[in-house]
Amino acid sequence: MRTRVALALLLIGAAACAWVPVEVESDAGERRPNLKTWAWLQRPPVARGEAEFGAVEARVRPAVEREFGARRLRKVERERPDFLVTYYAAIEKPIDANAITYAAGVPLMTKSVTSYERGSLLIDVLDARTGKLLWRGVGRRVFDPKQTPQERSERIDAAVASVIDEFAPL
């Protein structure tokens, strides 16, 4: 009996460590079509000069691909996708929400956001035909300067899973 209780407490503790607070922004009236295929939004490389960003990039992209794959959303490269995906990482400083724009602009958000605090991971989903932002998920408290590389990797994996679960639950 004690072994079961100890195991249950261990699992609860592990789940609590992996939990990432997530906020979702989208047009309340925006209906998402039946989305099945996706691709990365092509954008110029981020030239921040941060050695950290390379490590984050190497972790976020595979995590996004893994989570979408687990939800049977297929990544395409040669055909037109249903939606495009990109992300932003506020590693060392906040991100100004007004600095993030797309060809068709951003939708009317349910709340007014002026910036995303340091430590946030934003994942954006855009309509591939129009370039309009359909959905944004924001994981909070993902990046912390005191994290070890292992802790950062685990936190990124948890954040990506939590954010994408809000977009496309398993």
Residue-wise pLDDT tens digits, 128-149: 998 888 899 999 999 998 999 9
Residue 39 phi, psi (nearest 5): -150, 160
Q: How far, in Å, CA of 89 to CA of 71, rounded?
A: 23
* Three-state SS at 123: strand
The region of weakest confidence among 23-27, 37-41, 68-72, 121-125 is 23-27
pTM of the model: 0.80
pLDDT band at 16; cut points 50, 70, 90? very low
The position carrying tokens 């309009």 is: 132
Distance of alpha carbon 162 from alpha carbon 139, whole angstroms: 8
Say what the pLDDT of residue 168 is. Answer: 87
Domain boundaries, the chain: 20-167
Fold of the 20-167 domain? Double Stranded RNA Binding Domain (3.30.160)
